[in-house]
Amino acid sequence: SITKTKIQMPFANSDKYRIHYESVGSGPAIVLLHSFLCDGEMWSPQVKQLAEQYRVINIDIRGHGKSDVADTPLDIYDLVEDVVAVLDQEDIQSAVWAGLSIGGMIALRAAITVPDRVSHLILLDTHAGTETGFKIAKYKTLVLLAKLLGIRPLLNIVAKLMFGQHTRQTKPELVTHWREKFAEMPLASIQHMVNALWARD
């Protein structure tokens, strides 16, 4: 069972960045890629179930969680390379890539650029196209406000973007937990990740 399985939490080096991840379970490999502003903790309930049958690689995307701050401009293909660096370190040739939001965007590009590393895709609440002009303007405005005011005054707006009304009403402790985690994310990471999102191909 999962309680008897040793969880390893190492880092992989990708370019100059350290990418933090959790490795647990055994069997076919599955990579979990969280959404923007979150980290691998988002998948905790799924990890426990999946690790009973799979080798779960739960990654903190660059700039998130315990991975290094995203302190220079990047694109989503750079994030694909980060995941490949983790797979190389774990000696995994091919895996299922499961991604939510930006995690799904990373997985889609992996399927195109390194198809031999992708056995299957699981895509949740993500997008295969370019960003709309309206959302680009909204993202740029939020980043500008965060630079001027800090992230905390924007947390109510961010919570409404990240959680549906039902969750906000029925699980306020969950929303509060993640609001605090959002507030801890470095502004440099937010800015460069937002730029990668709106500039995607």
Angle made by CA atoms 87, 91, 93, in degrees to the nearest 5: 70
Q: What is the mean pLDDT of residues 108-129?
A: 98
CA atoms within 13 A of residue 70's CA, in its CB half-sphere = 25
Q: Which of the 8 DSSP states describes residue 51?
A: T
Query: 2 pLDDT band (50/70/90 cuts)?
Result: very low
pLDDT tens digit sequence for 151-177: 999 999 999 999 999 999 999 999 999
Q: How far is CA 127 from CA 63, 107, 130, 141, in A?
A: 21, 11, 8, 21
At 109, the pLDDT band (50, 70, 90 cuts) reads very high
Tokens of 120: 């299957």
> What percent of the chain lies above the pLDDT cut of 70?
96
4 pLDDT higher than 70: no
87, 44, 37, 76: CA torsion to nearest 10 = 20
Reply yes or no on whether the pLDDT at 41 is more than 50: yes
Q: Taking 60 as the threshold, does the pLDDT of residue 1 lie above it?
A: no
pLDDT the model gives residue 6? 57
Is residue 95 within 8 Å of residue 115, measured between CB atoms?
A: no
Longest distance between any two alpha carbons in the chain, whole Å: 49
Indicate the pLDDT class of residue 144, thresholds 50, 70 and 90: very high
